[in-house]
Chains A and B, each alone.
Chain A
Amino acid sequence: MRELLIRNGRVVDPSTQRDGIADVFIRGGNIVAVAPNFDAAGAKVFDASGLVVAPGFVDMHVHLREPGFEYAETIESGAKAAAAGGFTTICAMPNTSPVNDSATVTSYIVERARRHAIVKVLPIGAITKNSAGEELAGIGSMKNAGIVAISDDGKPVMNARLMRRAMEVAGSLGLPVINHCEDLTLSAGGDMHEGAESVRLGLRGIPSCSEDVMVARDILLAEVTGAHYHVAHISTHHSVQMVGFAKSRGLAVTCEATPHHFALSDRRMIPYDSNYKMKPPLRGTSDAEMVLDGLANGTVDAIATDHAPHAGSEKMQEFERCPFGVIGLETAIGLAFRDLVHPGKIGLSRLVELFSTAPARILKLNAGTLRPGAPADLTILDTGREWTYDVNKSFSKSRNSPFDGERFKGGPVATIVNGAFVWRADSAA
């Protein structure tokens, strides 16, 4: 059987509370042992001296656009971008065409991923049929076909009673309910965060309260139903506070934040540049600071990219006509180093928790750990590596990133899935 020894790296694995120099021995796609000076004669050796060895990173929120929008991204291209971004598992949101609202579509995605994806792709099923918000999708049969959560992401579940029913069903199946929190009656027609910048630029605003009222509603419903409720791409000051409040009451409420929501704000966007247009919008400075604080203090559980590819022609339009969303798989770790690790807000252990341990725990995955017996999915990082993001060299089929040309210090150098290298920085360029 194939053997690999990752030698002499700093192994950071919050699931086993390990943080120290050790070797990781892998055989047949699984972790066999993690120990200093492990003797594995005959195994292929990867020298990780000076590098950080972590359980594989999990991005619980990506859009792979397949089926239906293959011109913008495919499962294959999205998985390559994920590998180059240091991710070993990605979770595909259901807003494809057709929407992943049935076991048939789920099975199609699982099968396409098995054939074409170099990282693990786990589908998330729709909450409602066609994500239309009118009647529940076949959640149980999708679970049997392989979904790990439900969400109508891209759209909120506006009907509170339907949301309650979804939580009841998902709760009984052990699936988390992920909501894109946006009260459409408040956000109606907005293109960017409502504030001084939207007023100055003459663009219609998406107020913070459009997110806050739905987070508040959902937390109350989570208490009523006892379901595991997860806030997608949390972006506002009050929403982070409310999730903290829910946690203090012992509710099964978690949330994720995207790199762009902590790395940017409405004041830092290039006016009318659609690479800064996404939902939720880039919020105010105090919102971004609150997200950073939440990531540091544990209120925000995980970092997820909300990787949302759009073809160039879709983004080359008047700002108000452009679709929402930016790609993010390849810049997530670099931004986390820049804004969280290097300024001293979090240590490496918390970084690994945010990218690996926590999303794996939220979705109950057999991932996010280097425990013997676990799948050998690893992300290897270099905290000092200096690199520049060139969006034209992205593995994604789309180019809609606000971080083109950004210089980073710290990032992934190798990605291992089931014991095999799927990406290495030194052979990618």
Chain B
Amino acid sequence: MFAGLLGIEGLDRRVIEAILDRAKDFQAVPGQPLKRLDALRGRMMVNLFFEASTRTRTSFEIAAKRLGADTISITAAGSSVSKGESLVDTLNTLGAMHPDVIVMRHAASGAPHFLARHLPVPIVNAGDGTHEHPTQALLDARTILDRTGKLEGLHVAIIGDIAHSRVARSNVHLLSKFGAKIVLCGPASLLPKQLAEMAPGVTLTTDMKQAIKGADVVMMLRVQLERIHEPASPAGEYFAFYGLRLEHLQLARPDAIVMHPGPINRGRELSSEVADSQRSVILNQVENGIAVRMAVLERILSQ
């Protein structure tokens, strides 16, 4: 049973492997002259984005279209949400229109989980507050696998505002299920010590150099200014201590890759040189986003 995709935490490793394998098949689609398959013809996906997003929303839309599904995108601004309708009423209304799947992004952690208990429609979580962003972790895993062939035993450093990052949480769950060593790194007030209890194989450090030393993968997070309710330290301090520059990469393994979920802030989380270097796989991540989302949608809708 694969009702929807709410998070990585509750997913079985075999399911993740199946999605990642299938995504590999779909990687070839953009190179084909006809980029549209028929697998999901006649099915309807609703993109419901309560939070601004360009790349994730577009990526889901392209993924659905490449599989032949019909898509509709709704953003909170300009919908009944901005007229004060409650989340449950919005979703009930959409549910009555019988979509086959709802892809949802929301600023509140757990909003899709709450709705999944009340709606019979499969829900794909496209990011909920500071909780999970499962398709991001899947596309990150696909990108790492394309370079390294395995996840087990890899040393992955995740650096930045961990406390507010749903990307970090989903990646921690996924990488841990495959036996990676995960080092989470950020300023103390953005690195709650209980993160170490979240999954096996997680360690914490506030020292960026220590985190990167010997790393196979360096994953930088966007600073989530919109989620930080109180400034923990001056912004300048943050960038001086937790921005990735070329010299840091000398501490990592020679073949280490640099990842970023985007959108990147050049000169903030990472320097322009790093973003444009051979180490950077940021654009591969974007490409894999479509392939992975095709695999997820196919899995949900072909049942």
Contact = CB atoms under 8 A, between A and B. Distances in A.
Contacts of B198: 196, 199-200
Contacts of A198: 194
Given A271-B113, A313-B86, A319 B195 contact: no
A316 B108 contact: no
Interface in A238-282: 271-273
Contact of B87 (A196, A200, A273, A317): A317
Identify the interface centre among A202, A272, A313: most chain B CB within 10 Å of its CB: A202
A203 B110 CA distance: 9
A385 to B, nearest CB: 32
A328 to B, nearest CB: 22
A344 interface: no
A17 B244 CA distance: 72
A50 interface: no
B197 A196 contact: yes
A189 interface: yes
A202 B194 contact: no
A321 interface: yes
B197 A318 contact: no
A320 B130 CA distance: 12
B166 A202 contact: yes
Pick the 9 closest A-B CB pairs, nearest first.
A272-B110, A202-B131, A318-B108, A202-B130, A202-B109, A196-B194, A199-B194, A196-B197, A318-B111
Given A272-B110, A318-B106, A202 B192 contact: no
**From DSSP, what is the main secondary structure of chain A's interface residues?**
loop
Nearest to A270: B117
A429 interface: no
A272 B194 contact: no
A319 B110 contact: yes
Interface in A263-315: 271-273, 313
A201 interface: yes
Contacts of A200: 9, 169, 194, 197-198
B83 interface: no
Nearest to B113: A272
Contacts of A202: 109-110, 128-132, 166, 169
A316 B86 contact: yes
Given A196-B194, A313-B86, A319 B132 contact: no
B110 A195 contact: no
Contact of B110 (A188, A189, A201): A201
A176 to B, nearest CB: 35
A319 to B, nearest CB: 5
Given A195-B194, A199-B194, A318-B114, A272 B109 contact: yes
B232 interface: no
Interface in A44-95: none
Given A189-B229, A202-B130, A319 B108 contact: yes
A238 B197 CA distance: 23
A203 B129 CA distance: 8
B129 to A, nearest CB: 5
B120 to A, nearest CB: 16
Contacts of A194: 192
Contacts of B108: 318-321
A319 B114 contact: yes
Contacts of A205: 192
Of B87, B88, B110, B132, most A-chain CB atoms within 10 Å: B110
Interface in B241-260: none
A272 B114 contact: yes
A272 B112 CA distance: 10
B110 A318 contact: yes
B109 A320 contact: yes
Central interface residue in B108, B111, B163, B195, by most chain A CB within 10 Å: B108
Nearest to B172: A200
B160 to A, nearest CB: 15
Contacts of A204: 229
B88 A201 contact: no
Nearest to B131: A202
A198 B118 CA distance: 23
Given A203-B130, A205-B192, 8 more contacts: A199-B197, A200-B9, A202-B110, A202-B130, A272-B109, A317-B87, A318-B110, A318-B114
Nearest to B132: A202
Interface in B164-209: 166, 169, 192, 194-195, 197-198
A200 B113 CA distance: 14
Interface string B230-246: 10000000000000000
A202 B118 CA distance: 21
Interface in B19-75: none
Contacts of A273: 114, 117
Contacts of A195: 194
Nearest to B117: A273
10 contacts: A189-B229, A194-B192, A199-B163, A199-B195, A201-B110, A202-B129, A203-B129, A316-B86, A318-B87, A320-B129
A28 B132 CA distance: 64
A258 to B, nearest CB: 24
A316 B195 CA distance: 29
Nearest to B111: A318
Nearest to A199: B194
Given A202-B128, A202-B132, A271 B86 contact: no
B292 to A, nearest CB: 21
Contacts of B129: 202-203, 320
B166 to A, nearest CB: 6
Interface string A316-358: 1111110000000000000000000000000000000000000
